[in-house]
Structure 1
Amino acid sequence: MIPWLEPTSPFPDVSEALTLDAPGLLAAGADLSPQRLLLAYQNGIFPWFSEGQPILWWSTDPRMVLQTEHFKVSDSLKKTLRRVERSRTGHGAAAPRWEVRFDSAFEDVMRACAAPRRDGPGTWISEDIIDGYTGLHAMGYAHCSEVWLDGELVGGAYGVCIGRMFYGESMFARVPDASKVALAYLVAFLRGQGVRMIDCQQETGHLASLGAAPIARSAFLAHLREAIREPAISRWEVVAPLTP
């Protein structure tokens, strides 16, 4: 039986996470306050649960991560990125006009990530989740990458950054490749800032196609402990992704 957390309860050690039935499930309960979320990420723990469930806390083993130097850009995405960059820097055709921003519409990105998908219902991102992460954003720990097309928000990604450790949470796209464009610009920026690893939490084929791969939780935690001690990134500025 997993531990039930009260608002003041500490997290169990991640070594106590279940290995059967629900691998990686560590605890339930507590709250989604910015302070609780920050403590979770500092210890390699993340919330993930469905509507009608209590808050569930996880620490998966192995852990899916994206090494920023291993980010894969397909040939089709390279073409899109070149088009976006030409438009973004004023060297492309007048229309359509692409723009990439960081942190100008954090809550809008979260709500877009929470919206129903074409192939299914909405995500697990509830109002409580939105409140918690917008609180982290106000504290300077949560950030987003946004893709705009002719003044409309069409893609984005958001996550949490502590020191030089970034934890990816969710992405969305309203036009083809928009979420990948948002991720590409985010990865380029983070790599330039010395962020070597993005936590992807759980293994999926889509993440693997972008270069993510599972590593042992022990290796993930060892990197995390060092990375979160690094100075926080002071300025979030858009830089062009590599498109060879």
Structure 2
Amino acid sequence: MLTNLFSIFEPTSSIFNLSINWISTFLGLLFIPYFFWASPSRWSLFWSKITSTLHKEFKTLLLPSHQGTTILFVCLFSFIVFNNFLGLFPYVFTSSSHMTLTLSLALPLWISLMLFGWINHAQHMFAHLVPQGTPPILMPFMVIIETISNVIRPGTLAVRLMANMIAGHLLLTLLGNTGPSLSTTLLSLLIFSQILLLLLESAVAVIQSYVFAVLSTLYTGEIN
């Protein structure tokens, strides 16, 4: 039973003491076998076009030595966009609106990039701490600023995705709770506004998935 407004974003729903909220994360796996046994349809061709376009775009953002990692970021985009869209269905927990999932995606990626960069390209990583043309007197401050900006990257990736997904869902919930107390005319306006917000949330679901994947690609491209 939901005890407060924000409890809809917490993994607390259960049946027989088994948490069922995170099952929504694995629902996207049900769509994968379809591409293997079904004949090519408009949907499968459309999705193939999206993945090939993303592959070409990520390829231009990455260095030649990192070209093979484009499939990782295409899969990352696909996973996030599936979770975002599945969360738009009523009574389905949006796993991407929870810090547990978003930080689990951003933190291992950032740690692996840092380990790879500092082990294999330590001199290049040190050079990144001091931008070219920095006055000598400002170098200690620039090292501190660049270090902090680098450390908070996984947090900004996780919080950006979580905040954008939870904001729209929270607004839809707040507006929906006012429905029983409204007149027929205001209720019609409310339903129309809810439909517009749902369309906006659909766009946000795609945009935030794309932003997460592109920023991850840019962070990878900085490691030479």
TM-score in terms of structure 1 length: 0.22
Name the one with the larger strand percent.
Answer: 1
Name the one with the larger helix percent.
Answer: 2
Higher RCO (C-alpha 8 Å, min separation 6)? 2
